Structure 1
């Protein structure tokens, strides 16, 4: 695979991993919340919000690289 194709492909897979990890962490936050640790769950969701804010920009950037 040429280097020009490798970088977007790697970034795409890293982005997919980030989305999967965020989903898993959200599930853990739900469990923590049910155990009565609402503050911890809220802190986790706050960190996940940062991922969500950056997701659209990252996805657009990867799409641009893949289209070049």
Structure 2
């Protein structure tokens, strides 16, 4: 595999890791909220909104980078 082919694959894997971490953090947030700390849950949800907001752009960019020329 050529070095220029590695970048899209690397970015794809990093994005997968980011989404997995988002899911894990959301699970913890749900637990925290169920145990009476809705303020902290709201703060975490606000921070995770950035991940959600950027997800479409990241996916579109990865699709372009991974398309063979």
Same structural fold, with TM-score higher than 0.5 when normalized by the shorter chain: yes
Shift >6 Å, 4+ stretches: none
Q: Normalised by the size of structure 2, how large is the TM-score?
A: 0.95
Alpha-carbon distance in 2 for matches of 1:10, 1:20: 15
Q: How many equivalent residue pairs?
A: 68
Q: Deviation string for 1:24-63 (max 9, x for gaps)? A: 0000000000110000000000011110000000111011
Aligned partner of 1:30 in structure 2 is: 30
Aligned residue number for residue 63 of structure 2: 63
| TM-score (ref. length: structure 1) | 0.96
Query: How well do the aligned residues superpose, as a CA RMSD in angstroms?
Result: 0.7
Structure 1 runs not aligned, ≥5 long: none
Matching of residue 50 in structure 1 with residue 54 in structure 2 = no
Cα distance between partner residues in 1 of 2:52 and 2:3: 29
Partner of 2:14: 14
Q: Distance in 2 between matches of 1:15 and 1:5?
A: 16
